Structures are given as C-alpha cells and as structure tokens.
Amino acid sequence: MESNTTLTSPKVTNFSTFASNDTLRLEESTEKNEDAPVPRDFRFWGVFVALAVSSFTSALDLTAVSTALPVIVNDLKGSEFVWVASAYALCSTAFLPMSGGLAQVFGRRSVMLVSLFLFGLGSILCGAAPSLNFLIAGRELVVQGLGGGGITALTQIIVSDLVSLQERGTFNGLVVLAWAIASFIGPVIGGALAEGGAWRWLFYLNIFTSAISAILVLLLLRLKTPEGTIKEKLGRMDWIGNFLVIAASSSCIIALTWGGVQYSWSSPKVLGPLIVGIIGLGIFFFYEANYATYPIVPFKLLSNVTGLSGYLQTFISAIVLIGAVYYIPVYFQACLGRSPIQSGVDIFALGFILAPMNVVTGLTVTLSKRYRPQLWLGWAVIMISAGLLSTLHATTSRSAALGFEALMGIGLGMIISGTYFPVLAPLPVSENAHALAFFIFVRNFGQVWGVTIGSTILQNYLTRNLPATFIGAFPQGSAVAYSVIPLLDKLPPTLAAETREAFAAGLSLFWKVIIGVGGTGLLTSLLMRHIPLHAATDEKWGVAQSENKPNAADEKV
C-alpha cells in the first residue's frame, strides 16, 4: 500500500537521462498496465458519463455568457464588462495548480464533488446579482476559481488515469463531444434568455446541471484514492508554492484586465501589479525548483524543449480561442445588427466545426502515433482564417462571416486537441496530475490575455474614431465597447452606420493581431521533437475494483 501517491512511480527509471534529452523514449521497468489493462466494464464507462456531464456543465456557462454579455452589462448598468470574462479566469488560473495537488493527496472524486458544489453556489450568487460588481465577485470568488477550474482540471486528470496517451485522442473525444454540445447550444440559450430579459437563468441553469453532475459523480465515479489521515494529507500540500502562485497570477491578471481599458498601460495601477506579478511568478518557479518538498509544478515539467513547446502552444491557442468566443458575437451584433439569440446561432458555426475536428485530430494521433503534423497544420489554418476575418466590414455578407468563422473552428479544433501530447509525452505517467493541472493553468492564463488584447484594441479604436459627443454619453472605460451595442438600433441612421463601421474596423485590427499570435504559435511548434506516446497508465489511479466492497465509496491505494 502506498500512503503517498505524490512520489514518483517506482516503475519509472532513468528519468534524469530522459529529462536532459527528450528525444529518448521513457523507459519503464514494468509493463503491468499494458499486460493487464483496466477492465472497460460499466464502471469504466460510468466514469466517462460522469465526466461528460461535468464538462457540459462548465462549458455551457462559458459559452452562454458571451452572447448575453452586452445585455447583462446594460441591464446591470455597469461598465467593467471585461471583468465578467476575466473574473471567470482569474481564480481558476490562480487555484488550478492547487487542484492538481489536492487531487494527488485527497483523490480525484472528492475534489470533483467540491468543485461541482462551489460551481453551483457561485451560480446562485451570479443569478441573484443586484449589480455588475456583485456578479463579477460571484464569478471570480466562487464559480470559476474554485468550481469551474477544478471541474476542467479534474476531467483531464481522470481521463489520463484511465487511458494511456496512445489511446487518449479517441477517448478524450467522448468528453469533448459533451463540451461541444454545450458549446453549440450555449450561445443560443444565452442569446434567447438575454433577448427575453431572463439572462439570470443562464446561471440558475447551472444549479440543475451541477446537481445532476454531482449525482452521477457520486454514483459512477468510483476511483482509487490515497490512504492517510487528513493531517498527513494536508502535510503533503505545497502551501508556500500555492500562496506564491495564487498571489502572483492574480496580480498579473488584475493588471491585464485594467491595462488599456480602465487605465492606460503606463499607469502605476497597471504597471505596479504587473511587475509584482511577474516577479512573483519568477519567485514561485525558483521556489518550486529548489525548495518545495512536494512541488505543485515539478521542475521536470519544463525541463525539456518538447514539453515547453506544448505549454507555450497551449497559452497561445487560448488567446485565439477566447478571442473567437467573445469577439465573433460582437461582430454579428454590432456590425450586422443581429440580435443576441441570432448571434448565438451564428457562433454555432465555430463550435459545430471545432468539436468534430477535435475528435478527428485525436483519432489521427491515436492511429498515427504522431502529433506534430496536426499542430503545424492547425496553426497555418488559424493564421489564414484570422486573415480572412480581418477583411470583414459592416456591409460584408453574413455567409462570408460564417465561412471564415468555420475555418477558424477547423484550426482551433486541431490545436486544442493536440497540445497536451507534447506536454505529456516526455514525462512519466506518475506526473499526469501535476502536468495537466499546470496545463489548464497555462490555458486559462492565456484566455485572460485573449480577452485583454481584444478589449484593449476595440476600446482604444472606438474611443479614437467615434464622435466625441457620442463617446461622452458613456462612462469612462469599457462601456464604450459593450454598452453601445444594445443602443445601435435606436441611433440616427448615419451615426448607427458610422458606429458599425468603427466596430468592424476595430475588430479587423484585432484579427490582424491574431495573425501574428498564430504565427508565434507556429514558430513555437517547430521546437517540438517526436517522442513516442505512452502505452501505459499509472497503476496507482483509475477505477476502483470494489466488487467485494459494495459499501466502499473509493478503493484505497
């Protein structure tokens, strides 16, 4: 019996040589998992059902809010729309490394249940929000940080426990399908409820989906969990590392959210927290590499060029993804005059293509045991689609916009499903939880940059190019970008046309920047080397074989 599952698996040998040269194949001293794979019976498939519903729950909230955001901001008479998106990522980014550590010492099932509970609690707070600031606090302090982020991280970690990296492209597609369904219907639901004045039900719906997910987790997610007392488990947590990463990443995100929107980039209120955050992250990584007994981000995760390339690509792809999710609906509403529900239908094209491409890409990785060609092609498609999106004007046909959007979905689908292969291939399977928690951390941190880049470009362009008398009617800050949209139909025709063209030009500039972002992703992907994918899973984790323990919730390991 192992009482401490955070220790390196005894199966892995010769890792020091491997870490210094990631072209070598990881040697394992035993092939127990390959010779005796986990039985794929009802317990195995029950886990995937629970994960799929949990993934659906978190994805529905993310995608539904994007199309309803202009109405929410207008209804609550707020100005800091960017915080609705950034708050959703702030605490998830800060607390994600901790979720990996908690999963290692307390087990996957309990952490998933707590995440679902907090997600539902935050949804209640957001649905009842009397003001935009209250809504932002609910998303920042509860929903995303301690709920949605945990759901996302634990989903990836549990899949890695059950399926080897060689097969994961196929099995991960099953969970992605649930995410895709939520992505398809989320914008439509968000637009419909916003247009009907019932946007609060965007959050109340999460209560029901969270409850269903929790019931399924309780019934089906019977996984192995570590032994030990609460005191022993708490002693294996890296509390200093968690404090450093939470404080530093939060400081960076606050600066990125304010920069160029609420305050200028040269303002001390932006530079101060940004500098403190960057220094803090440096101190965090130094501490993790040299002093942490149970590091939440083991230095080996970043000690090879292929894994580093995978993390960088994950960060860059998140910028593109969140930019597409949040700013394509802005184009349809502000430039083409589409209603919230209509823009929800329009953004459907992105998810309708992205999800199948995610599955197809995973299948190609499973069959070919290669991941680099798919990533190279994906970055090229992203650059082409961003270039096409930059050509859109207020008078462009809707069909052209939908076509360009679909092409972006193809590129994103290929990238999103592929970046964790270079992250995990160089590492022993015993590091899956830490590696995937840090993977989600990097992805969510990138999403903050995506929202920040888009809001800064759009805000600054509109402020410079709309009539001063018109701009003066709105509060200072990001309200100029989002609060204008619901009022466009009420403006005089000439002013309305001028405003729509200004939105189109500002968004065009944003997509030109995304071309450069995609190019950076492509250059980063060239650093990868081919490393064979693991054919084994970590035997310490997985479905609990409890046929003779009918009353056992989890099997101890």
Which tens digits make up the pLDDT trace of 485-533? 777 787 788 888 888 898 899 999 999 999 999 999 999 999 998 888 7
Paired tokens of 336: 């083409």
Q: Is the pLDDT of residue 463 over 50?
A: yes
pLDDT of 57-106, one tens digit each?
777 776 777 667 777 877 877 656 656 656 666 666 767 777 777 777 78
The reported pTM is: 0.76
With contact defined as beta carbons under 8 Å apart, do 186 and 506 qualify? no
Grouping H, G, I as helix, E, B as strand and the rest as coil, residue 28 is strand
Stretch among 133-147, 249-263, 457-471 having the lowest mean pLDDT: 133-147
Query: What pLDDT is stored for residue 338 in this prediction?
Result: 87
Q: Is the pLDDT of residue 23 over 60?
A: no
Q: Is the pLDDT of residue 297 over 60?
A: yes
Query: What pLDDT is stored for residue 316 in this prediction?
Result: 95
pLDDT tier at 549 (50, 70, 90 boundaries)?
A: very low
Q: Which of these, 539, 429, 481, 50, lies nearest to 261 by C-alpha position?
A: 481
In the numeric block, the tokens 């986990």 are attached to 38
Query: What pLDDT is stored for residue 344 in this prediction?
Result: 74
Q: What is the average pLDDT across 125-145?
A: 70
Other Cβ atoms closer than 10 A to 469:
8
Instruction: Give 467's Cβ-side CA count (13 Å radius).
Output: 11
Query: What pLDDT is stored for residue 191 in this prediction?
Result: 77
Cα dihedral 327, 328, 333, 334 sign: positive
With contact defined as beta carbons under 8 Å apart, do 435 and 104 qualify? no
CA distance 336 to 330: 9
Taking CA atoms, 280 is separated from 208, 287, 308, 453, in Å, by 39, 10, 20, 22
Q: What is the average pLDDT across 109-127?
A: 84
CA distance 413 to 362: 10
pLDDT tier at 348 (50, 70, 90 boundaries)?
A: confident
Q: What is the average pLDDT across 353-381?
A: 87
Other Cβ atoms closer than 10 A to 304:
23
CA distance 446 to 314: 8
Query: What pLDDT is stored for residue 155 in this prediction?
Result: 82
CA distance 139 to 279: 27
In DSSP notation, 369-434 reads S--HHHHHHHHHHHHHHHHHHTT--TTS-HHHHHHHHHHHHHHHHHHHTTTHHHHHTTS-GGGHHH
Q: Which residues pair with 259 in a beta bridge?
A: 263
Query: What pLDDT is stored for residue 436 in this prediction?
Result: 79
With contact defined as beta carbons under 8 Å apart, do 184 and 352 qualify? yes
With contact defined as beta carbons under 8 Å apart, do 392 and 335 qualify? yes
Paired tokens of 198: 């019932």
Stretch among 161-175, 188-202, 294-308, 470-484 having the lowest mean pLDDT: 470-484
With contact defined as beta carbons under 8 Å apart, do 251 and 280 qualify? yes
Overall size of the chain counted in residues: 557
Angle at 355 between CA 84 and CA 193, to 5 degrees: 40
Query: What pLDDT is stored for residue 239 in this prediction?
Result: 84
